[in-house]
Chain A
Amino acid sequence: MRKESYAIVSNACVADGVFEMRIAAPEMAAGATPGQFVNLYLPGGAMLLPRPISIAGADADEGAATDPSAGAATDADAGTVTLTYAVVGAGTAALAAMRAGETVDALGPLGIGFFDYHGFVLPRRVLLIGGGVGIPPLRFAAKWLRGQAGGGGDSAGGAAPRIDAFLGFRAEPWYLAEFEAVCDQVHASSDTAGAAPFHGNVVDLLNARCADLTSNEPTEAGGEPAGESADARHSGSSDGSAAEGNVGSDILALACGPRPMLAAAAAWCAARGIPLRTSLEERMGCGYGACAACTCRMRAVPHLPTEGPKPQTPDGTVRKKVCAHGPVFWGEEVVW
């Protein structure tokens, strides 16, 4: 992997202050996993630091369009990577001013994604918990899960998980059609009364829609009991049940959004024994693990397969780089 120039296929406003850039990057699209991000570099030489943008979609050259249920992959999407970003300052404003046909320098895919952990197999059910500009990477996650189900090629195999999305917006919802194409149910909330079916934040929405959820729902197949031994989970056995592969739970939650929302989502999941993969945001320098600008405090979670250093300090915490050891971490790991 190296920093390269990519042609911009499109760069359009999808909601108030939110833009979606698609770049022609077949190799990046083929290698990207949900939750990873791309460093975008600005032209001109005055603004030096890369803007880390999470991947909202990656359509490989082949296969993306073979399963109609996998969403609206079209020929135009083949070999493209979709990067959705909010305009929050001069740098992202400069990105928004770029036009199709121009090139942009980028490095990626970078980081550890939602499913990039040892022993992952498809769960029976996935909850997507997103807020604002944290929503786009969950769209890639849902689409990827649909593409993995049913086996074939290098997919994770197994039955399609049920995917429920819980999406919180400040004002009018956006991207709902994209989620409806790849999810079983999509629930939207808005801080603005009347803008979405539910008025409130996304954790209020979770409480309203599925307060009674627990990690091991009774299913026809019979869920595996929680609390499988660490040995079983780390065996990497691909014929293990979903519960074994997914750290003792039939359900896996994924979250991305503002930090207070993520903290609340982590508490909500922890109270129900539902493992959570949460994507953090932090101001980065290099974005690839060299400068250590983006470290966040993490605690030891010996029962979960984690990345990065083990705690050495007396308080049992360690700082990990959001860019290289994340951006996706276990909810239990993060010192909120």
Chain B
Amino acid sequence: MKKQFDVGVDICGVPWKNRIAAASGTYNFRESSRYYDPAEIGCITTKGVSPEPWAGNETPKVAETPGGMLNAIGLANRGLKGYLSHDLKPLKDAGATVMANVVGHTTEEYCAVAEGLADSDVDLLELNISCPNVKEGGIAFGTDPRTAAALVREVKKRSGRKPVLVKLSPNVTSITDIAKAVCDAGADGLSLINTLIGMRIDLKTGEPVLANGTGGLSGPAIHPVAIRMVYEVRKALPSIPIIGMGGVMTGADAYEFLLAGADAVAVGTAALLDPAAPPRIARELETILFDNRANGV
């Protein structure tokens, strides 16, 4: 008999009203709140925030691929100070549960953001050690278990009582090795997966389509990769909270993540293709969970 799931869930002591989150980099309060109330879904993960503003990469920053897309946005953001007033405050005022995606070029930068958020209203931190689109930081911290663990230990000293989840990269030989290392170092939960590094070349010019050269692949094309990785990490770490993500377009896709071992599921690319996708997927998942309960599956 398959496991039964409640509609709501507790992630590291933070109650979510349902198991669907907006994935980092796909929610912008000013624009997205025109399409749905951020309190309708379990959690809003905000775009990567660094201590000072980052400009991001040059265009083109996106390219289409069959069943997916490449992006190399480069973590453009307005910095911690702007984040607190422009992103976090309106979301908390709207009653949303908020997870801040934290980025940096160095350990010190990650720690500065964690410290700046420790006394804020944010509910959870998501340490982004897996962004493939910045020259320093990001994925550089996420491909070696010792480096990743060292960063988590430092951030945990500065993050106060905020739970710290770590967002893992699929661009590694063994994601379970990294997962175990960061959990041993004190991570409270895991988000997986970030994008897969990819590239497209313009047939006319012979040059990469993206100005950054490479980009991160997301969308339905990566869903089976993400399912496999969540399944493996869950087997290795039976009790750590896991937020699964990768190509979720429907409630059924999200349910598959729960069956693989995730506690909650984040929706990213689908929200870029339909601004109201996260609450739609939450409703679809709710229907699946109710039906399973009614049928005693």
Bound pair (A, B): yes
Residues of B within 8 A of A291 (CB): 25-26, 62, 71, 73, 272
Do A48 and B73 contact each other (CB < 8 Å), given the known contacts A290-B27, A293-B61? Answer: no
Instruction: Check A283 against B68 for contact (C-beta < 8 Å).
Output: no
Closest A residue, CB atoms, query B72: A293
CB of A223 within 8 Å of the partner chain: no
Do A3 and B56 contact each other (CB < 8 Å), given the known contacts A290-B26, A291-B25? Answer: no
Count: A-B pairs, CB below 8 Å:
101
A277 vs B195: C-alpha distance when bound (angstroms): 38
Instruction: Check B31 against A2 for contact (C-beta < 8 Å).
Output: no
Interface residues of A in 216-262 (CB under 8 A from B): none
Instruction: Check A312 against B53 for contact (C-beta < 8 Å).
Output: yes
Instruction: Check B67 against A289 for contact (C-beta < 8 Å).
Output: no
Interface residues of A in 41-61 (CB under 8 A from B): 41, 45-50
Instruction: Check B64 against A288 for contact (C-beta < 8 Å).
Output: no
Stretch touching chain A among B101-109, B115-123, B231-239, B273-281 = B273-281
Query: Which of A50, A295, A309, A324 is in CB contact (< 8 Å) with B273?
Result: A50
CB of B76 within 8 Å of the partner chain: yes
Interface residues of B in 239-269 (CB under 8 A from A): 269
CB of B66 within 8 Å of the partner chain: yes
Residues of A within 8 A of B31 (CB): 288-290, 324
The smallest beta-carbon distance between A35 and chain B, in angstroms, is 18
CB of B69 within 8 Å of the partner chain: yes
Residues of B within 8 A of A158 (CB): none
Residues of B within 8 A of A294 (CB): 59, 61
Instruction: Check A46 against B66 for contact (C-beta < 8 Å).
Output: yes
Query: Which of A3, A289, A313 is in CB contact (< 8 Å) with B274?
Result: A3
Instruction: Check A293 against B275 for contact (C-beta < 8 Å).
Output: no
Instruction: Check A3 against B76 for contact (C-beta < 8 Å).
Output: no
Closest A residue, CB atoms, query B73: A292
The smallest beta-carbon distance between B31 and chain A, in angstroms, is 3
CB of B132 within 8 Å of the partner chain: no
Instruction: Check B53 against A290 for contact (C-beta < 8 Å).
Output: no
Closest A residue, CB atoms, query B86: A309
Interface residues of B in 130-176 (CB under 8 A from A): none
Instruction: Check A48 against B269 for contact (C-beta < 8 Å).
Output: yes
CB of B219 within 8 Å of the partner chain: yes
Do A46 and B25 contact each other (CB < 8 Å), given the known contacts A285-B62, A290-B272? Answer: no
CB of B2 within 8 Å of the partner chain: no
Query: Which of A41, A91, A284 is in CB contact (< 8 Å) with B62?
Result: A284
CB of B198 within 8 Å of the partner chain: no
CB of B60 within 8 Å of the partner chain: yes
Do A293 and B71 contact each other (CB < 8 Å), given the known contacts A3-B276, A48-B64? Answer: yes
A289 vs B273: C-alpha distance when bound (angstroms): 12
Instruction: Check A288 against B61 for contact (C-beta < 8 Å).
Output: no
Instruction: Check B68 against A48 for contact (C-beta < 8 Å).
Output: yes
A49 vs B55: C-alpha distance when bound (angstroms): 24
Query: Which of B53, B64, B73, B78 is in CB contact (< 8 Å) with A47?
Result: B64
CB of B35 within 8 Å of the partner chain: yes
CB of B34 within 8 Å of the partner chain: yes
**How many B residues face the partner with a CB closer than 8 A?**
36
The smallest beta-carbon distance between B45 and chain A, in angstroms, is 12
Residues of B within 8 A of A283 (CB): 59-63
Residues of A within 8 A of B275 (CB): 2-3, 107, 286, 288, 290
A3 vs B275: C-alpha distance when bound (angstroms): 8
Instruction: Check A48 against B273 for contact (C-beta < 8 Å).
Output: yes
Report B36-64 CB contacts with A as 1/0, cut-off 8 Å.
Answer: 00000000000100000101100111111
Do A289 and B69 contact each other (CB < 8 Å), given the known contacts A3-B274, A3-B276, A49-B64? Answer: no
Closest A residue, CB atoms, query B74: A292
Closest B residue, CB atoms, query A50: B273
Closest A residue, CB atoms, query B22: A290
Instruction: Check A313 against B272 for contact (C-beta < 8 Å).
Output: no
The smallest beta-carbon distance between A27 and chain B, in angstroms, is 15
Instruction: Check B76 against A295 for contact (C-beta < 8 Å).
Output: yes
Instruction: Check A285 against B69 for contact (C-beta < 8 Å).
Output: yes
Report B207-245 CB contacts with A as 1/0, cut-off 8 Å.
Answer: 000000000000110000000000000000000000000
Residues of A within 8 A of B3 (CB): none
A324 vs B34: C-alpha distance when bound (angstroms): 12
CB of A12 within 8 Å of the partner chain: no
A288 vs B275: C-alpha distance when bound (angstroms): 8
A313 vs B63: C-alpha distance when bound (angstroms): 28
Query: Which of B25, B55, B61, B66 is in CB contact (< 8 Å) with A313?
Result: B55
Residues of B within 8 A of A45 (CB): 67, 220
Report A264-307 CB contacts with B as 1/0, cut-off 8 Å.
Answer: 00000000000000000011111011111111100000000000
Closest B residue, CB atoms, query A91: B64
A49 vs B67: C-alpha distance when bound (angstroms): 10
Query: Which of A41, A49, A309 is in CB contact (< 8 Å) with B78?
Result: A309
B binding-site residues for A, Cβ under 8 Å = 25-28, 30-32, 34-35, 47, 53, 55-56, 59-64, 66-69, 71, 73, 76, 78, 219-220, 269, 271-276
Closest 9 CB pairs of A and B: A289-B31, A286-B272, A293-B62, A283-B60, A285-B62, A293-B61, A3-B274, A290-B28, A49-B64
Q: What are 16 A-B pairs with beta-carbon distances under 8 A?
A: A1-B35, A2-B35, A3-B276, A48-B67, A48-B69, A48-B219, A48-B269, A49-B69, A50-B273, A283-B61, A285-B71, A288-B35, A289-B30, A290-B32, A295-B59, A295-B61
Given A48-B69, A290-B28, A309-B78, 9 new contacts (CB under 8 A): A2-B276, A46-B67, A49-B62, A282-B59, A283-B62, A286-B273, A290-B31, A294-B59, A295-B56
